[in-house]
Amino acid sequence: MLLRLLEEGWPLDEVVFYDTGMEFKAIYDIRDRVKLILEERGIRYTELRPDYDFEWKMFDKPVNGPNGPHFGYSWCGGRCRWGTRDKLTVLERYARGAEEYIGIAADEKSRIEKERKGNKIMPLVAWGMAEADCLAYCYERGFTWEEDAGAGPVRLYDVLDRVSCWCCCNKNLKELRNMKRLLPDYWRKLEELQERTARPMKGPGKSVFDLGARFDGEKT
């Protein structure tokens, strides 16, 4: 969306990047490239973060839950998307009702209805660009979300259905299997997080370690 807005000269005062602190390196690499483009064009760039460190909230924040007090909300995702809530709070506080472009694609029907509010503009919908069109558009311009993994470069959109936080427990088993096989450094980071919480990442019997053993078994 941003690339086409710039190419077509749409009015744009500022670009805001929200950093959860848990993004893939490829996201930060693209952010750095985009920052240079914006600098050349004199467009303001702003980086926002959650009020609290992601891992502190995941493991250390004192919480009064239905089963008594405990520390941390554990994995983020599913019905417990505390990271998304933080993101929306910070972004809304910053935007203060200003007109915003949001990159919802023309084939994301339920999101389009949810986000249809006075101050939101959806250029991808106006252009009729579906998610696959957007990816092709970015690839044509050399934006490929590539991770430098052990066995060679991996394009994130080749192995993940959606590129979100690397630790998002919304990832499906196909995506997690791909991470174990093709992005082993991130898999190790998932194991480190799992070591710090009793809640299995994908539900009972599906901790990161359970899934790792399952995926390894599939190889033989």
Shortest CB 55 distance to ligand SF4, Å: 12
The region of 10-18, 76-84, 111-119, 146-154 touching ligand SF4 under the rule CB under 6 A is 76-84
63 DSSP β-pair partners: 70
Mark 157-196 with x for binding to ligand SF4 (rule: CB under 6 A) and - for no binding: -------xx-xx-x--------------------------
Phi/psi for 137 (5° steps) reads -60, -45
What is the rounded distance in angstroms from the CA atom of residue 51 to the CA atom of residue 88? 12
Q: Is 83 in the site for ligand SF4 (CB under 6 A)?
A: yes
Do 171 and 183 touch, CB atoms closer than 8 A? no
Q: What is the DSSP letter of 205?
A: T
The alpha carbon of residue 101 and the mean position of all alpha carbons in its chain are separated, in whole angstroms, by 18
Which of residues 21 and 153 has its CB atom nearest to ligand SF4 in the complex?
A: 21
Shortest CB 28 distance to ligand SF4, Å: 15
Structure-token pair, residue 3: 């690339």
Structure-token pair, residue 8: 């077509």
Q: Is 34 in the site for ligand SF4 (CB under 6 A)?
A: no
- Residues engaged in binding ligand SF4 (CB under 6 A): 20, 76-77, 81, 83-84, 164-165, 167-168, 170
